[in-house]
């Protein structure tokens, strides 16, 4: 478990993804961060590349949802933003929501079609991480959104094993219920 602890104790990714940081996209990012829906709407018409990523690999949608600017996020999604756009480590906005225990953000993303089974480049899933961190409400949301309760991470361990190892009794109970009821192991995604 020390490998998981070490891996998930790091801060934000800092790998430059080579997308550049042009002035016009800075205007888009600033409007998203401020929650200026009218400005974002105007910029999306001819200036903003909807899936542009900043120097850390975070997309405009990521910035919107983590500021709980859900109106802006809706505008970006309507313009074609990829809800599962990954950062350089393969972390989607849903994975980041699971990492940080952001229930409201996870709810929004799942409601709008985020894939709860999309693994990182290392093979971890949002459910595995939520089980590791003890976020029972996130686990509930992910399971309701179609997360595979029996999916294994790169070390061959599943979320139930991780929850047991960490002593997260409520999560163990949730996952055991999936296992004992014969709930489908594959989500809709």
Both 23 and 80 in one domain: the answer is yes
Residue 181, domain member (yes or no): yes
CA dist 103 and 114 (Å) reads 14
Residue 148, domain member (yes or no): yes
Residue 51's CATH number:
1.25.40.20
Helix (H, G, I), strand (E, B) or coil at 79: coil
The pLDDT value given to residue 182: 60
Both 100 and 138 in one domain: the answer is yes
Both 185 and 132 in one domain: the answer is yes
Both 135 and 171 in one domain: the answer is yes
Both 96 and 166 in one domain: the answer is yes
Residue 97, domain member (yes or no): yes
Indicate the pTM of the whole model: 0.82
Give me the sign of the Cα torsion angle 45, 58, 27, 38: positive
Both 131 and 166 in one domain: the answer is yes
Structural domain ending residue among the three candidates 85, 118, 136:
85
Residue 5, domain member (yes or no): no
Residue 6, domain member (yes or no): no
User: What are 121-179's pLDDT values in tens digits?
Assistant: 999 999 999 999 999 999 999 999 999 999 999 999 999 999 999 999 999 999 999 88
Give me the sign of the Cα torsion angle 182, 113, 101, 123: positive
Residue 4, domain member (yes or no): no
Q: Which residue has the tokens 């990829």?
A: 82
Which pairs count as long-range contacts for 107-110, CB under 8 Å and 24+ apart, including other chains?
107/141, 108/65, 108/70, 108/73, 109/65, 109/83, 110/141, 110/142, 110/144, 110/145
If one counts the domains in the chain, the total is 2
The range of the structural domain enclosing residue 71 comes to: 12-85
User: What are 61-114's pLDDT values in tens digits?
Assistant: 999 999 999 999 999 999 999 999 999 999 999 999 999 999 999 999 999 999
Residue 43, domain member (yes or no): yes
Residue 173, domain member (yes or no): yes
């Amino acid at each position: 478990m020390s490998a998981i602890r070490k891996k998930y104790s790091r801060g934000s990714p800092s790998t430059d993804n080579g997308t550049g940081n042009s002035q016009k996209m800075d205007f888009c990012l600033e409007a998203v961060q401020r929650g200026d829906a009218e400005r974002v709407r105007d910029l999306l018409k001819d200036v903003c590349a909807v899936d542009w990523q900043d120097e850390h690999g975070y997309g405009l949608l990521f910035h919107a949802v983590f500021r709980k600017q859900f109106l802006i996020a809706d505008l970006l999604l309507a313009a074609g933003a990829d809800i599962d756009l990954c950062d350089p480590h393969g972390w989607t906005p849903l994975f980041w929501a699971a990492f940080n225990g952001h229930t409201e953000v996870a709810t929004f993303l799942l409601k709008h079609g985020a894939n709860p089974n999309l693994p990182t480049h290392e093979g971890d899933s949002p459910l595995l991480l939520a089980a590791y961190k003890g976020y029972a409400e996130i686990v509930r949301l992910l399971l309701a959104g179609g997360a595979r309760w029996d999916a294994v991470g790169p070390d061959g361990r599943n979320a139930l094993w991780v929850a047991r190892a960490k002593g997260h009794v409520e999560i163990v109970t949730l996952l055991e219920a999936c296992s004992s009821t014969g709930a489908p192991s594959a989500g809709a995604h």
